[in-house]
Amino acid sequence: KNEVEQSPQNLTAQEGEFITINCSYSVGISALHWLQQHPGGGIVSLFMLSSGKKKHGRLIATINIQEKHSSLHITASHPRDSAVYICAVTGNQFYFGTGTSLTVIP
Amino acid sequence: GAGVSQTPSNKVTEKGKYVELRCDPISGHTALYWYRQSLGQGPEFLIYFQGTGAADDSGLPNDRFFAVRPEGSVSTLKIQRTERGDSAVYLCASSSQGVNTEAFFGQGTRLTVV
């Protein structure tokens, strides 16, 4: 059983579309992280949040602690957004989801 | 450099050999984490250091894996008697304090055991 579940596993979108990636977790957490991993590249931290909502450019992350659920939204998607997006939660250590592979087609 | 640095970036070794993977965290970061990622999977936790000590090593798969951080900065992940199943990307991350501060990841070391 995975402590962190993401959906969808794979997502293809047309440039300009609004994208949502979902994350559900089953453990008690202190914080939730959204990470971005490009093919062959390292991992970049996008957001760390423990409540409410954060926005950075075209990216928005929300979390509902009661429902143990978070969403990552990308507005006006662009081909350069193509990457794997990973949800991770921290309790006493990091627990990672398996990632959502996003492809944005021009 | 300003980020987390891992060396080597790629390592090919023969089954049964010993390997060392190095992680240079961001200067001043007290927390350091090792993960490994197999193809198509999310990262899997291995070990977490707070300063020089291992705060949580519950993710190390067996006693062939060992990690040190003797001076509280650079860390080395050591794998003895490597097996083909050890092939993965080994990721290191650091954060300023602990698990509730933002983590910064290295580019990883791709280990291939042939």
DSSP class per residue in B7-22: E-SEEEE-TT--EEEE
What Rg value do the Cα atoms of chain A yield, rounded? 13
Contact A42 B105 (CB under 8 A): yes
Contact B45 A91 (CB under 8 A): no
What is the structure's pLDDT at B1?
A: 52
pLDDT tens-place string over residues B33-84: 999 998 878 888 899 999 999 888 988 999 999 999 999 999 999 999 999 9
Q: Are B13 and B79 in contact (CB under 8 A)?
A: no
| Average pLDDT estimate for A15-42 | 90
- Give the contacts of A66 (CB within 8 A, at least 6 positions apart): none
- Amino acid (one-letter) located at B111: L
Q: What are the distances in angstroms from CA A80 to CA A77, A100, B25?
A: 8, 15, 28
**CA B38, A37, A76 angle in degrees (round to 5)?**
140
Element (H, E) at A71: strand A69-74
| Average pLDDT estimate for A64-68 | 94
- Residues from chain B contacting residue A33 (CB–CB below 8 Å): 102-103
Q: pLDDT tier at A91 (50, 70, 90 boundaries)?
A: confident
